[in-house]
Structure 1
Amino acid sequence: MLKKKWIQAIVVSVLVALATSACSGAGGNSAAEETGSNGSSDGAVTIKLHTWYPKKADNWDLVIEEFEKKHPEIKVEFNSAEDNNSNEYYKKLDLAAASGDDLDVIMFSNMAFLSQRAELGLLEPVDTYIEKEGFSLADEYSSDTRIKDVTYGLPGKLSTPMVFINESRLQEAGLELPKEWTWDQYMEYAKAMTTTANGKTQYGTYFHNWIQFGYFIQNMGQSTTGANLTTDDGLKANIDTPAIRKSLEVRLQGEREGSATPYSEIVSQKLNYRPQYFNQDTSMITMASFLVPEAGGTEQVPATFKTVFAPLPTMNAGDPLTGNVSGDVFGIYSKSKHKEAAYTFIRWFTTEGIVLQGKNFPSWKKADLNEVVDNIIAGTKTPEKIDKESLMYVLENTKQATPAVAVPYHAELEKVFLEEFDKMMLSGVDIDTTIRNTQEKVQKIIDSKQ
């Protein structure tokens, strides 16, 4: 999580870098003008793609090869630490920008991280490219990547929230796979699937240590509005809500009943959701569709059981199945010398390219969902461990919604929320006090930003 002081350091260093590059005359160039030190001997332009994903494991070599066949006038240089760690990636990205390095295509894991850098002027609006091409963002993509009606990037991967369940554990508990359910029923399932043998407990569910799992019912999809810690206009704290109260109640219920991995263990042992689920220390997790390929096994973690899928639970019986979608966003560095070529790449990748990659669900609405699912499942080590029927049901029946982009200082608000959440989970502070204190502290920060 970004810390306030670190953000302030970014502001200073990045603005210095931008000012320096501005003085050098770097700016938007037409395709014909895009030559220079990044050009190859055959006249092709070379653009740099910065990401955190591993190249081979995520089929980027295949993607780049195919793109360069279609666009021989553009070469793509892949830049990644290969560690699949987006938090470390952002630190390196900001350092590169502050150092005046050449940047072209920049990836972001979600809109909150993009918003922070758009606020600093690191990103080029792409609305003129969209208008020139003549398409509507809403018609073309499921995710809305606009900030105050300005589009700073195109959406790639689409992450839809859902529940991953170990089919064997479900059957052993005598439970049916739900097609619609409430959070109360979710916790009943968690309790029924919790077992203890030889001094070891296999918990019914696991909530990861991301602070979003402190307000997950609000953040993941209880409502298409008010999903953040502020109201959508950014003017008021949005903590004292039924969805956050329910989120906290669920977390405490899991602790009280012993049906969820204890928060103290998650924090002290630095547990991670992947091994907790795939090593069968827990029977089900609420996560998003980005994890689906791993349910079929990877080189690092083989799949030893079959995963079935259920839609995100609702607050009340009969509420519509809604999921707040998120995902990767591809932006263009505001001082890139090859903006036209960078746009050509991100437009191609967020449509044809991501389908070809076969690793993720695309935000591109024109993709064939059945084909996408088949490609993803076929690309895993043990395809039979992924239940396609239940997965398709969740994807086809979840109403996808894009929540408002969080305020640029969202990390500060989450830090405050985390502090109060820890007091509740670890020190016994009651829910009413937790909500009241967090509401007041968040509002104080909002007021200081006005």
Structure 2
Amino acid sequence: MSKVKRNLFIAVPLLSLLVSGCGGAGNAEKEPAATGTGTDAEQAVTIKLSNWYAKKMDNWDIVIAEFEKQHPNIKVEFASAEDNNSNEYYKKLDLAVAGGDDLDILMFSNMTFLSQRAGLGMIQPLDDYLAKDGINFKDEYTADTSIDGKIYGLPGKSSQGLVIINEDHLKEAGLELPKDWTWDQYMEYSKAMTKKNGDKTRYGTYFHSWIQYGYVVQNFGQPVNANLTTDDGKTANIDNPFMRKSLELRLRGESEGSATPYSEVVSQKLNYRPQYFNQDTSMLVTGTFLIPETGGTDTIPASFKTVFAPLPKMKAEDPMSSNVSGDVLSIYSKSKHKDEAYTFIRWFSTEGIVLQGKNIPSWKKADLNDVVDRIIAGSKTPEMIDKASLLYVLENTKSTTAATAVPYHAELEKVLLEEFDKMMLSGQSIDDTIQHAQTKIQKIIDSKS
């Protein structure tokens, strides 16, 4: 996960240069789509994999070595700052495109970032490749990477919402590990696990500064209208029960003193990883991407056992589900090696990501038990990851995919963040927060039509 700033999403820089450099959104589709995956065995080519990950720490060295073993006529150049900062990566990517650099495979941390660039003609649709290989996308992957009916990338990891809990704190509070719970019960658990020791407070939960956690109920668990616009992109989606519930939960955490105060999160620039692993908080709403780290890393060893609970629900009768997101691998529309790039992203999104042993794959045909075993075995302290509760959550949570946010989603989140800050820091009411954000966001939507 990248070290994202409070605004969460960056505005895409140099859009005019990108449009002129890529020739507009439709030009890539007008070119004959390359198909097939073979190359001349006597003419090995090198493809560039642009991303933000650390090669060795995230096992990309193992992945690339195995791919090149299976495909000796394709070499993979790992192009990354290795800082796990996807926001900086996007800035560099846009500059590279504007400068006419040779690019092949582009990775995106979610569909919003991909959608912004697909609209500029940067991304090659994959429909012809998939059709040639006889692949039905929905039969293969849990995530949906389509935009306006075309597939613009293959999903790698599948990140779904869940809750990680410090087992020691759970037992200390006399609580049972929840297997099905609501957001209200989540806050009750948070209050029960909050503990004061002199001037220091160990909070029951921590909500990060990302505005996603401002509308946590809506963003994490609602498959329909999960974004700040309705799914058709025409109407502001702030005035709804899920947004209201999200804001109520955040204020409840403040008033009951069971969540790390938002003022501290912002002013001290706190990060969710040290807050949890240093035991300053007892549980986090997070994604499956964090599973490997619960077994410890070189930076932060695991000193306690983590157990897992499903994402809370709005109402008790609601189904146990979570929106899924995750990395998407795409082909640059001006790549000189599209066939070879496709060969890699198809292999990685299936066999490769399982071999990597770091994440839950979006590939439906993966053996979940094997995947979990690989992730646990690859951690520093495997015994600190509770496999039974993790498998329960993964096997019993229905994966849903929210509609891709509008390309100017960053503008909308900035508006919501401003109103959210007024509520959390200056006492603005929930009603005013919702009304102001609804009105301002609708104005932006109308200006784009």
Q: Is the 8 A contact 1:162 1:289 kept in 2?
A: yes
Structure 1 distance, partners of 2:193, 2:171, is 9
User: Residues 41-440 of structure 1: matches in 2 within 5 Å?
Assistant: 43-221=43-221, 223-440=222-439
Change (3 A) 1:366 1:396: same
Change (3 A) 1:76 1:27: farther
In structure 1, stretches of 5+ residues that fail to align are none
- Quick one: which amino acid aligns to residue 82 of structure 2? E
Q: Is the 8 A contact 2:37 2:342 kept in 1?
A: no
What SS is found at the alignment partner of 2:113? helix
Q: Is the 8 A contact 1:276 1:282 kept in 2?
A: yes
What SS is found at the alignment partner of 1:215? helix
Change (3 A) 1:362 1:235: same
- Quick one: which amino acid aligns to residue 240 of structure 2? T
**Residue-pair matches, total:** 441
- Quick one: which amino acid aligns to residue 329 of structure 2? F
Change (3 A) 1:398 1:238: same
Deviations 1:204-258 (A, max 9, x none): 000001100011100101x221100000000101101100000000000000010
Q: Is the 8 A contact 1:28 1:337 kept in 2?
A: no
- Quick one: which amino acid aligns to residue 97 of structure 2? A
Structure 2 distance, partners of 1:78, 1:97, is 17
Change (3 A) 1:104 1:149: same
- Quick one: which amino acid aligns to residue 212 of structure 1? Q
Q: Is the 8 A contact 2:8 2:210 kept in 1?
A: no
Change (3 A) 1:27 1:4: farther
What SS is found at the alignment partner of 1:303? coil
- Quick one: which amino acid aligns to residue 380 of structure 1? S
Q: Is the 8 A contact 1:18 1:100 kept in 2?
A: no
Change (3 A) 1:32 1:285: closer
Partner of 2:441: 442
Structure 2 distance, partners of 1:401, 1:215, is 17
Shift of 1:19: 4.5
What SS is found at the alignment partner of 1:179? coil
What SS is found at the alignment partner of 1:300? coil
- Quick one: which amino acid aligns to residue 247 of structure 1? S
Change (3 A) 1:10 1:371: same
Structure 1 distance, partners of 2:160, 2:44, is 38
Shift of 1:32: 9.6
What SS is found at the alignment partner of 2:112? helix
Change (3 A) 1:4 1:352: closer
Change (3 A) 1:408 1:119: same
Deviations 1:85-130 (A, max 9, x none): 1111111111111111010000000001101111111100001101
Shift of 1:198: 2.6
Change (3 A) 1:9 1:311: closer
- Quick one: which amino acid aligns to residue 424 of structure 1? M
Structure 2 distance, partners of 1:256, 1:431, is 14
Shift of 1:319: 1.3
Structure 1 distance, partners of 2:186, 2:215, is 16
In structure 2, stretches of 5+ residues that fail to align are none
Shift of 1:10: 2.4
Structure 1 distance, partners of 2:35, 2:120, is 24
Partner of 1:11: 15
Structure 2 distance, partners of 1:246, 1:31, is 49
Q: Is the 8 A contact 1:34 1:337 kept in 2?
A: no
Q: Is the 8 A contact 2:107 2:329 kept in 1?
A: yes
Shift of 1:9: 3.9
- Quick one: which amino acid aligns to residue 443 of structure 2? K
Structure 1 distance, partners of 2:225, 2:9, is 27
- Quick one: which amino acid aligns to residue 85 of structure 1? N
Q: Is the 8 A contact 1:167 1:307 kept in 2?
A: yes
Structure 1 distance, partners of 2:39, 2:68, is 16
Q: Is the 8 A contact 2:35 2:129 kept in 1?
A: no
Structure 2 distance, partners of 1:213, 1:259, is 16
- Quick one: which amino acid aligns to residue 255 of structure 1? E
Q: Percent identity?
A: 67
Structure 2 distance, partners of 1:6, 1:275, is 24
- Quick one: which amino acid aligns to residue 371 of structure 1? D
What SS is found at the alignment partner of 1:92? helix
Q: Is the 8 A contact 1:68 1:76 kept in 2?
A: yes
What SS is found at the alignment partner of 2:370? helix
Change (3 A) 1:416 1:397: same
Structure 2 distance, partners of 1:412, 1:399, is 31
TM-score (norm 2): 0.95
- Quick one: which amino acid aligns to residue 434 of structure 2? I
Structure 1 distance, partners of 2:176, 2:74, is 52
Structure 1 distance, partners of 2:9, 2:315, is 41
Q: Is the 8 A contact 2:144 2:401 kept in 1?
A: yes
Change (3 A) 1:299 1:6: closer
Structure 2 distance, partners of 1:107, 1:305, is 34
- Quick one: which amino acid aligns to residue 103 of structure 1? L
TM-score (norm 1): 0.95
